[in-house]
Amino acid sequence: MRSLAPPLVDPAFRERAKRDFLAGVPARGRVPLPRPRPALRPAWWVVAPALALAAIALVVLPSGPAWRVVSADGEGAAIVDHRPIPLAHTADLARALKPGARIGVGPDTRLELELKGHLALQVTPGTELVLPGPPRGWSSHDMRAVVWSGEVRITTEASFAGDRLTIETPEAAVLVTGTTLAVIRDAEGTCVCVCEGTVEVGPRGGPMARVTRDRRRFVFRDGRPPEDAAIREVEGVELVAFRNRHRARLEGRASDRP
């Protein structure tokens, strides 16, 4: 330590400290900072392999399954991200149905959609929602959707195990880990009807409660405590029919394999 040269002191700082000392002013502790060294540029032979790997990942890695239009019943068009697409143009409709797309259907329109390997949706007349996307990244298994109005029926596949779907409405949050259910949003709030499995439902930002088979939970828009009751019979019938149609499609594909 004794062999080290004494630190350099800025003359201006020395003069200011002297004046402060003579005047009885406490020291302000301002020490000049050393001039920063120029940043080292990485050699091209270090950067190039990393860039090459990133480019390969973008080209080779799969982007996940896309939504498929199973059926489109009714007349007119579906609105996808503010763009009207005639129901008869199923290929155009399927191309527009990207994860995170906002879609709306009219009072006489019904869509059935499938995210292969994950789940199926039935979009009933007068519904507006944001489509869920497939699990993101290599280790994330979370999907999100938003239901603004109307009713959406959902049934998951066996391969959905380990994934999670969070559905939000303006007043409610729904956590799905594998089940058949309906999310209905009307003028009073959000109703979640469970046909099979278990779903967690609660006010947004509030405590969640488990809703089991043949039960429903209503989260009120005005902030009243949620209401729990038995599922309505007509909704149970619709959910069972929707689930069975989707399972029949899956079984048909399995039987067609060599």
pLDDT at residue 71 in the model? 93
**Residue 254 confidence (pLDDT) above 80:** no
pLDDT at residue 173 in the model? 98
pLDDT at residue 192 in the model? 98
**Residue 114 confidence (pLDDT) above 60:** yes
Q: Give per-residue pLDDT as tens, 34-77.
A: 455 554 454 544 445 544 444 433 333 344 557 899 999 998 89
**Residue 28 confidence (pLDDT) above 50:** no
> What is the arithmetic mean of pLDDT over 145-160?
94
Least confident piece of the model among 132-136, 236-240, 244-248, 249-253: 132-136
Position 141 confidence tier, pLDDT thresholds 50, 70, 90:
confident
Chain CA centroid to CA 42, Å: 37
pLDDT at residue 133 in the model? 76
**Residue 24 confidence (pLDDT) above 70:** no
Q: Give per-residue pLDDT as tens, 176-215.
A: 998 999 999 999 999 999 999 999 999 999 999 999 999 9
pLDDT at residue 54 in the model? 41
**What tokens does 160 get?**
């959905």
pTM: 0.73
**Residue 132 confidence (pLDDT) above 50:** yes
The third-level CATH classification (topology) of the domain covering 67-256 is: Jelly Rolls (2.60.120)
Say which residue, 184 or 12, is predicted with more confidence.
184
Alpha-carbon gap, residue 51 to 86, rounded angstroms: 42
pLDDT at residue 89 in the model? 93
Task: Please identify which residue in the block is written with the tokens 């199973």.
Answer: 70
Domain residue limits, the chain:
11-60, 67-256
pLDDT at residue 134 in the model? 61
pLDDT at residue 142 in the model? 84
